[in-house]
Amino acid sequence: MNRWLKHILVIISFMMLWQLVFWWGIYPTASFPSVFHIFRALWMEFTQGDLSRQLLITLWTITKGVGVGALLAVILAFVWRKKGIVGDMIATMVSVAHPLPGIALLPLLILWFGIGERVIVVMIVHAVVWPMLINIKAGLDNMPVIYHQIADVFSLSSKTRIFEIALPSSLPFMLSGLKTGWARAWRAMIAGEMVFGVIGQSGGLGTYLFQKRVFMDTPGLLAGLLVIIAMGIFVEEFFFSFLENSTIKRWGMGQ
């Protein structure tokens, strides 16, 4: 059976189970709405509420954070490859900073940068930069020796070596780092927005969720969760597949 058909069947079964529990009536309707209420809330929030605006805020913020994080990771990876004290410093920085969850940094970031989108972007950069850096470094280290030799024999310029050989050669590693970075960033992002939702600042899906809880709008809250799940699936299943299909798979590289 088709993979997607299986997924859809499981989701439909889950929704039927949910609806059965609702009909059973053991939980109050206010905290356990029916499937129909949830989808109606989803429709209303998108058409009349501000769910689409909040979704766009979240996507825009995370795009900025991931973009800056990825660029920083590429630059740091090349610096790391240089032998000597700077390389050692980066290696130490990676081992110290990588295990640190982004959300744990939030109180400190608020002290340093105040409240607002900037803090969330910094948190996303932190979530993305370390796993990507580790992967790009591994990609550069694993570049076939023959590529170096070709660059030497043909006296290729540094620009050609970096942009036309080293970076595309480590792209499979880079994409795998981006996937890990994205997963970390997405979680940190929602958590951060939710914290800011508490103090009535910023926007985004996390803030939206928090506001729905405050107003006891459980169908709206679940609609928000559905959007978060759908976005996660979209990026992981479609966006990354698209990136891979248009690059490494198209080139027959694989991993």
Partner 1 sequence: MKVLMQWSSLSIGYDKKPLVENLDLIIRSPEILCVVGETGIGKSTLLRFIAGLQEKERLSGTVTEVNQIRKAMVFQETDQIFPWKRVLSNVMIGMSKTTENLSQAKAILRELGIEDKKDAYPYTLSGGQKQRVAIARALMRKPDLLLMDEPFGSLDVQNRKKNQEILRQLFWHHELSVVFVTHDLQEAIDLGDRILLLKNPGHHQYYEVTDKNRQLLLPQLLSEMRI
Q: x/- site string to partner 1, residues 136 to 175, per CB under 8 A?
A: --------x-xx-xx-xxxxxx--x---xx--xx-x----
Neighbours of 202 (CB within 10 A): 21
Confirm or reject binding of residue 255 to partner 1 (CB under 8 A): no
User: Looking at beta carbons only, is 3 or 250 nearer to partner 1?
Assistant: 250
From the CB of 160, what's the least distance to partner 1, in Å? 5
Neighbours of 161 (CB within 10 A): 16
From the CB of 171, what's the least distance to partner 1, in Å? 7
Total interface residues for partner 1 by CB under 8 A: 22
From the CB of 163, what's the least distance to partner 1, in Å? 11
Q: Count CA within 13 A, CB hemisphere, residue 92.
A: 6
User: Looking at beta carbons only, is 34 or 247 nearer to partner 1?
Assistant: 247
Neighbours of 147 (CB within 10 A): 14
User: Looking at beta carbons only, is 1 or 146 nearer to partner 1?
Assistant: 146
From the CB of 145, what's the least distance to partner 1, in Å? 10
Q: Distance between CA atoms of 77 and 7, rounded to whole angstroms?
A: 38
Distance of CA 3 to the CA centre of its chain: 24
C-beta separation of 193 from 120 below 8 A: yes
User: Looking at beta carbons only, is 128 or 166 nearer to partner 1?
Assistant: 166
Which 173-202 residues touch partner 1, going by CB under 8 A? none
C-beta separation of 169 from 145 below 8 A: no
Q: Distance between CA atoms of 153 and 228, rounded to whole angstroms?
A: 51
From the CB of 136, what's the least distance to partner 1, in Å? 16
From the CB of 74, what's the least distance to partner 1, in Å? 16
Look up residue 26 and give its DSSP letter.
Answer: -
Dihedral of the alpha carbons of 174, 178, 181, 183, in degrees to the nearest 10? -140
Neighbours of 218 (CB within 10 A): 19
User: Looking at beta carbons only, is 141 or 152 nearer to partner 1?
Assistant: 152
Q: Which of 200, 242, 251, 255 binds partner 1 (CB under 8 A)?
A: 251
**CA 58, 63, 68, 70 torsion-angle sign:** positive
User: Looking at beta carbons only, is 31 or 155 nearer to partner 1?
Assistant: 155
Binding site for partner 1 (CB under 8 A): 144, 146-147, 149-150, 152-157, 160, 164-165, 168-169, 171, 247, 250-253
